Amino acid sequence: MSLEVRNVSRSFDGKKAVNNISFFAEPGEIIGILGTSGCGKSTILRAISGLDSGYDGDIAINGNVEKEIQDTTGFIFQEPRLFPWLTVLDNVTFGLKGDKDDKITSAKAYLKNVGLEESGGLYPRQLSGGMAQRVAIARALVTSPEILLLDEPFSALDAFTKMQLQDLLLDVWRAYQSTIILVTHDIDEALYLCDRIIILRGQPGELHKEIKIEEPRPRDRASKQLAAHKAEILESLDLNLKTS
């Protein structure tokens, strides 16, 4: 599914958080939204998801302008946000509708995808941070969302788990060809995963630059090309102005 964001602005209590953002995502494209904290990355993502409908401008999914939450959209939050009173398996089936056996079968398949097939009976309190986030990923994917929104999904994880889950995300993307919008403040992560990186800057956040990453996947995290892109991004972020 394609996604179009047209002239979206959002103010909170009269103070603008993002100003006039427009971009277009092709079906199956991975787009990274990169910027220092406070520049409105998450605001954009919440507007796309429909969790926040108080924005100006239009957001069109497959050409249809809607402000409500769509069934075809999945959201992976910064924290796992699992329901503590449900087991891992029940957490994954939470968003599914229909026959119970079918739900369990597909939930188990996705748990296997994220490497947690043995942990279906555990409660969230028994999971490590990385395991919990994997459950959250399985929960978002099990409904086969055509647009997947990720809000700094790996930022709370250690470097190794992070790399592992980034590869997992690419596996999933290859299998389902979802359109992915990834909000991140990790330049390496954006370079490794995205087809295109959108850089937001300033307060209120404005679209500063779009960078296309042409490197074929799987990418080498240490390649010269990515390093060159990183230098370009660092320069355009102008970290001397960084507020956080």
CB of 51 to another protein, least distance (A): 6
Q: Is residue 69 part of the contact set for another protein (CB under 8 A)?
A: yes
Contact segment (CB under 8 A) with another protein among 59-67, 112-120, 175-183, 228-236 equals 112-120
If binding is defined by CB under 8 A, does position 23 make contact with another protein?
no
Q: How far is CA 230 from CA 51, 211, 233, in A?
A: 32, 10, 5
Examine residue 240 and tell whether it contacts another protein (CB under 8 A): no
Taking the C-alpha atoms of residue 205 and residue 114, their distance in angstroms, rounded to an integer, is 34
Q: In the complex, what is the shortest distance from the CB of residue 54 to another protein, in angstroms, rounded to a whole number?
A: 15
Q: Does 123 bind another protein (CB under 8 A)?
A: yes
Exposure letters 178-196 (e unless 16+ CB within 10 A, then b): bbbbbbbbbbbbbbbbbbb
β-pairing, 73-76 with 147-151?
parallel
* Residue 204 binding another protein, by CB under 8 A: no
- Which regions of 88-237 does DSSP assign to beta strands (E)? 147-151, 179-184, 196-201, 206-212
Interface with another protein: number of residues (CB under 8 A): 34
Site membership for another protein, residue 43 (CB under 8 A): no
Residue type (1 letter), 114: V
In whole angstroms, how close is the CB of 33 to another protein at the nearest point? Answer: 18
For another protein, the binding residue among 25, 89, 116, 191 (CB under 8 A) is: 116
